[in-house]
C-alpha cells in the first residue's frame, strides 16, 4: 500500500477514474477542478459505456463523404472557417493516421482499452450506489437507406465475429416491434447489446465523486493554469490555498492542450465540439438509437430525450453555432414525437482528440512527477476508469493490463 501524495487535475470521468484507481492502491489523492465534478464534457455525451467501440472514428477518406462535409450537406460535421487554419496541422495528421495500414494497429491498441470498459465501471457503479442509473440493453444504430443498412449489417457481423461482440441485425419489421414509438418505417438497425447506457451521465460522475470523498479523497476548486514545479514536486492554487504533491496527473480533457503547451509540449491535439438538448417527448425509446442518416443520437435520459450532434470543428471558446442541432430537431421530429425542449439554451461542450486517435497516457517526457491521461475523443465517459487503472499501474511500477507503449506521451517526441 502506498501513501504517496498525488493531485489529479480534472474532475470529469477520466479524472475521477484516475483518482479512484490511485485511491484504491493506497494513494492520498486530491482532485482539483474549477467546477463541480462531471459538469463539462462528461455531462454532455450520449451516456453510453460503449463496449462495442473497438474501432475509433477514422478521418473519412472517400471523396463523396469529404465533399458532403465541405459543402455543408452532411450533418455529421460542421466547421468554422476561421478555425481551420489552426486545425489543419492536427487534422492532416489525423487523415494520415487513418490510412488503412496505419489505422489497423491503432484500432488494435484502442480495442484493448475498450475491452476493459464495462469491467472497470462495474465495481464503481455498485460501490457508488448508481445501479438505478444503468440500463444494460445496449443501443441501436438505425438506417433509413436500405443499401447503407445492408453494407453496415455485413460489416457489423464481421466485426462481431472477429471480436466476440454481441450484435443483432434487425430488419425493418423487427425494428418497428422493438421501437413502436417510431413514426416512420426504417430500413433496419444494428443492435449492439454489450454496451450499458446511463440515464444521467453527469449524475454518474457525481456519484463517483461522492464515492471518492467517502473513501477519504479530497476535492478542491482550483485553476490548473497555476500549476508550478516546486523542487521535487508540484503545486497548484485552489480556493483553499496551494496544494502540493509529489506527483501531478493532468486529466483535463479538451483543456489539456493549453496546459501542456505552457509546459513546452507540442502535442497534436484538437477538439471536436458538440451540442445536446433534452426534449419532453411524450413517448419513450426503449434504447438509445443513432439515426445514421442525420448524424444524431437519440438517448433516453431522466430529463427527457437527449439529442446529441456530430462533430463541430471550431475553437473551443468560439460562440455557439448549433446548426447541427437545429437540423437534428427537424429530422427527429419526422421520426418521433419530439415534444418541447427542456432547456432554454442547448448545451455545448468539447471532446478532446489526438491526431492518432489514441489517448495520451503515461509520464510526461521532460518533467519528473508529471503524468498525463487525456485525449479520449468520443470515449472519455467509456474509458475513464480503464485508463485510470492503466495509468495507476504504470505509476506504481506494476505490470499493466495491456502494453502501454501505444499511448505514451513520448510517441509524439522527436
- Tell me, yes or no, whether 317 and 369 share the same domain: no
Question: In which element (H, E) is residue 18 found?
Answer: helix 13-24
- 352-402 confidence digits (pLDDT tens): 999 999 999 999 999 999 999 999 999 999 999 999 999 999 999 999 999
Same domain, 154 and 14: no
- CA nearest 389: which of 413, 359, 409? 359
Residues 259 and 295 in one domain: no
Q: Which H or E element spans position 32?
A: strand 28-33
In a domain, 86, yes or no: yes
With cut-offs at 50, 70 and 90, classify the pLDDT of residue 139.
very high
pLDDT given for residue 1 in this prediction? 34
Q: Which helix (H) or strand (E) holds 82?
A: helix 81-97
Closest CA to 394 of 382, 379, 410: 410
Confidence band (pLDDT; 50, 70, 90) for 232? confident
Q: Are residues 304 and 401 in the same domain?
A: no
Taking all residues of the chain, what is their mean pLDDT, rounded to a whole number? 95
pLDDT of residue 68: 76
Q: Identify the pLDDT of residue 75.
A: 82
* 117 assigned to some structural domain: no
What is the CATH number for 232? 3.50.50.60
Q: Which pLDDT does position 31 carry in this prediction?
A: 97
The reply to whether 212 and 85 lie within a common domain is no
Among 332, 354, 376, give the residue marking a domain's end: 354
Residue 153 lies inside a defined structural domain of this protein: yes
How many angstroms separate the Cα of 176 from the Cα of each of 92, 299, 337, 388? 42, 17, 15, 40
- By three-state DSSP, how is residue 199 classified? coil
Local structure of 312: helix, strand or coil = strand
Q: Is residue 59 part of a domain?
A: yes
Considering the domain architecture, whether residues 388 and 312 belong to the same structural domain is answered as no
Cα–Cα dist 331/247, whole Å: 49
Please check whether residues 376 and 299 belong to one and the same domain.
no
pLDDT in tens, 164-189: 999 999 999 999 999 999 999 999 99
Is the pLDDT at 99 greater than 60, yes or no?
A: yes
**Dihedral over Cα of 287, 76, 13, 397: its sign:** positive
Selected residue with higher pLDDT from 70 and 244: 244
- The 10s digit of each residue's pLDDT in 19-78 is 999 999 999 999 999 999 988 888 999 999 999 999 999 998 887 777 777 766 678 899
- Given 330, 354, 378, which residue is the final one in a domain? 354
CATH number of the CATH domain containing 166 = 3.30.9.10
| CB-CB contact of 299 with 50 (8 Å) | no
Instruction: Tell me what pLDDT residue 178 has.
Output: 98
DSSP state of 135: E
Last residue of a domain, one of 354, 380, 398: 354
* 182 and 301 housed in the same domain: yes
Mean pLDDT of 150-159: 98
Same domain (yes/no): 87, 192: yes
Is the confidence at residue 3, as pLDDT, over 60?
no
Over range 340-350, report the average pLDDT. Answer: 96
Measure the CA–CA gap between 304 and 389, rounded to whole angstroms: 33
Residue 4's pLDDT band, with cuts at 50, 70 and 90, is low
Rounded to whole angstroms, the Cα distance separating 190 from 59 reads: 22
In angstroms, the CA 55 to CA 270 distance is 19
Domain tally, the chain: 2
Q: Residues 159, 304: one domain? A: yes
Cell digits of residue 304:
427527457
Q: Do residues 140 and 77 share a domain?
A: yes
What is the pLDDT averaged over residues 233-240? 95
pTM, to two decimals: 0.96
Domain assignment present for residue 402? The answer is: yes
Identify which of 380, 352, 372 has the alpha carbon closest to the alpha carbon of residue 17. 380
Q: Are strands 139-143 and 289-291 parallel, antiparallel or unpaired?
A: parallel
Beta bridge partners of 317: none
Find the domain containing 169 and state its range.
55-101+133-196+269-354
Residue 323 has pLDDT above 90, yes or no: yes
Largest CA distance in the chain: 67
In 186-211, which positions are buried (b, 16+ CB within 10 angstroms) versus exposed (e)? bbbbbbbbbbbbbbbbbbbbbbbbbb
Residue 18 has pLDDT above 60, yes or no: yes
Q: Which residues contact 179 (CB under 8 A, 6 or more apart)?
A: 140, 285, 286, 287, 289
Return the C-alpha cell found at 218. Answer: 479530497
Percent of the chain whose predicted confidence (pLDDT) is above 90: 92
Q: Span 252-262, mean pLDDT? A: 97
Type and span of the H or E element at 308: strand 304-308
Q: Considering the domain boundaries, does residue 116 fall inside one?
A: no
Residue 142 lies in a domain: yes
Q: Is residue 126 part of a domain?
A: no
Verify that 96 and 158 share a domain, yes or no.
yes
Amino acid at each position: 500500500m502506498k501513501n504517496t501524495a498525488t493531485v489529479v487535475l480534472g474532475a470529469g470521468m477520466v479524472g475521477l477514474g484516475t483518482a479512484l484507481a490511485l485511491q484504491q492502491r493506497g494513494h492520498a489523492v486530491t482532485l482539483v477542478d474549477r467546477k463541480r465534478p462531471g459538469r463539462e464534457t462528461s455531462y454532455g455525451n450520449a451516456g453510453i459505456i460503449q463496449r462495442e467501440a473497438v474501432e475509433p472514428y477514422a478521418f473519412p477518406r472517400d471523396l463523396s463523404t469529404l465533399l458532403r462535409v465541405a459543402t455543408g450537406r452532411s450533418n455529421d460535421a460542421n466547421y468554422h472557417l476561421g478555425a481551420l487554419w489552426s486545425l489543419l496541422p492536427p487534422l492532416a495528421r489525423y487523415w494520415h493516421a487513418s490510412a488503412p495500414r496505419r489505422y489497423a494497429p491503432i484500432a488494435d491498441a484502442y480495442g484493448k482499452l475498450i475491452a476493459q470498459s464495462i469491467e472497470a465501471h462495474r465495481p464503481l457503479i455498485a460501490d457508488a450506489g448508481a445501479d438505478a442509473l444503468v440500463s444494460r440493453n445496449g443501443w441501436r444504430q438505425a438506417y433509413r437507406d436500405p443499401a447503407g443498412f445492408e453494407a453496415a449489417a455485413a460489416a457489423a457481423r464481421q466485426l462481431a465475429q472477429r471480436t466476440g461482440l454481441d450484435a443483432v441485425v434487425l430488419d425493418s419489421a423487427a425494428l418497428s416491434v422493438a421501437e413502436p414509438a417510431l413514426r416512420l418505417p426504417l430500413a433496419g438497425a444494428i443492435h449492439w447489446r454489450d454496451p450499458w447506457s446511463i440515464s444521467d451521465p453527469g449524475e454518474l460522475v457525481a456519484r463517483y465523486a461522492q464515492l471518492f470523498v467517502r473513501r477519504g479523497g479530497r476535492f478542491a476548486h482550483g485553476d490548473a493554469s497555476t500549476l508550478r514545479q516546486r523542487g521535487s514536486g508540484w503545486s497548484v492554487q485552489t480556493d483553499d490555498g496551494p496544494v502540493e504533491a509529489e506527483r501531478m496527473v493532468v486529466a483535463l480533457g479538451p483543456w489539456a492542450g493549453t496546459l501542456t503547451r505552457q509546459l513546452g509540449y507540442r502535442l497534436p491535439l484538437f477538439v471536436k465540439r458538440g451540442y445536446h438538448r433534452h426534449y419532453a417527448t411524450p413517448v419513450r425509446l426503449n434504447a438509445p438509437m443513432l439515426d445514421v442518416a442525420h448524424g444524431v443520437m437519440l438517448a433516453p435520459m431522466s430529463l427527457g430525450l437527449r439529442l446529441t450532434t456530430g462533430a463541430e470543428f471550431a475553437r473551443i471558446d468560439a460562440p455557439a453555432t448549433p446548426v447541427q442541432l437545429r437540423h437534428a430537431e427537424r429530422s427527429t421530429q419526422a421520426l418521433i414525437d419530439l415534444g418541447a425542449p427542456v432547456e432554454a439554451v442547448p448545451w455545448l461542450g468539447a471532446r478532446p482528440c489526438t491526431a492518432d486517435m489514441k489517448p495520451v497516457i503515461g509520464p510526461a517526457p521532460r518533467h519528473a512527477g508529471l503524468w498525463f491521461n487525456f485525449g479520449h475523443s468520443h470515449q472519455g465517459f467509456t474509458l475513464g476508469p480503464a485508463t485510470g487503472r492503466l495509468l495507476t499501474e504504470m505509476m506504481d511500477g506494476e505490470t499493466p493490463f495491456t502494453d502501454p507503449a501505444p499511448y505514451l506521451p513520448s510517441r509524439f517526441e522527436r
